Amino acid sequence: MASLSFIIGIIGNVISILVFTSPIGTFRRVVKKKSTENYKGIPYITTLLSTSLWSFYGILKPGGLLVLTVNGAGAVMQFIFVTLFLVYAPREVKIKSMKLVAVLNVGFLGLVIALTILVFHGSFRLTFVGILCAGLTIGMYASPLSVMRTVIKTKSVEYMPFLLSFFLFLNAGAWSVYAVLVKDYFIGVPNAIGFVLGSVQLILYLIYRKKALSLEQEGSANLVKRAVEMQASEDGGTAGGPRNHSLSKGRSLPKPFISRQYSLQKIMKTISLDLQNWQQETKDTEKGVNDHYLH
């Protein structure tokens, strides 16, 4: 069983690191523009606290190497993200964020470590830190509940990025299996909750994604229909009315093929622009939601 738990732990490490690296694109944009724009620093500050506490838990736990490695790597990445945020944030936001870092990542973390070493002894040390870590992880997995409520209310998945939801689902599943194999309730309970919530998110995505695709196809069909009707109306007006087939001045002669082809090109161009605008709005929305998902 030890070898199987090690393999599952390695898989959990890989998936977790993929989740931790998801903000890289965000901070590449921040560095390029030298501005944090409308991004919030709280998700990265709280994730830094969570990974730091789990790293401490991995140090205390016998055989906790895999817990230490993944959360140690996560803590390093979150430290870099927080540092970049503080460098490029506006002055007012920077001051507030630095105060939050001082309270959570220095004060609270230092207090937990001090209490664990000086006050608690034996197995109580692991229990104390484990409870704190489990609480933070449950909060992480519960944070998308508001997004799920929005999806149900709006019947749209534009506020729920699929890849992030999918990797959080896989992450929770892998660590749940690992926890069962090593009999660690502090890892198992929050990740089991995360696995259930992740399953619900994916089910909602499948339900409302199909509805969104159906509405999109219906909207495109209506757009084509409207464009064709408008063109037909224009052609009818030019010919003196749809039922006017007078031969005077050659108006009854069919329009050249190149004119019809040009009209079709205008229709397809209108459809293409409409879809491009819709896709851009979806990308902009997903960009904002990613921060919400990562606490």
Write out the chain's pLDDT in tens, 295 residues: 568 999 999 999 999 999 999 889 889 999 999 999 888 888 899 999 999 999 999 999 999 999 999 999 999 999 999 999 999 999 999 999 999 999 999 999 999 999 999 999 888 999 999 999 999 999 888 877 777 888 888 888 776 777 778 888 999 999 999 999 999 999 999 999 999 988 988 898 888 887 665 555 555 556 656 666 666 665 555 554 444 444 444 444 454 444 444 455 555 555 555 555 555 555 555 555 455 444 4
Q: What is the dihedral of CA 44, 193, 57, 125, to 10 degrees?
A: 130
- pTM value is 0.69
Asked if 272 and 227 touch (Cβ cutoff 8 Å), the reply is: no
CA distances from 146 to 94, 160, 261, 282 (A): 27, 10, 49, 18
Q: Can you tell me the distance from the alpha carbon of 272 to that of 220, in angstroms, rounded to the nearest whole number? A: 10
First to last CA, the chain: 34
Pick the closest to residue 163 from 2, 21, 278, 269 (CA basis): 21
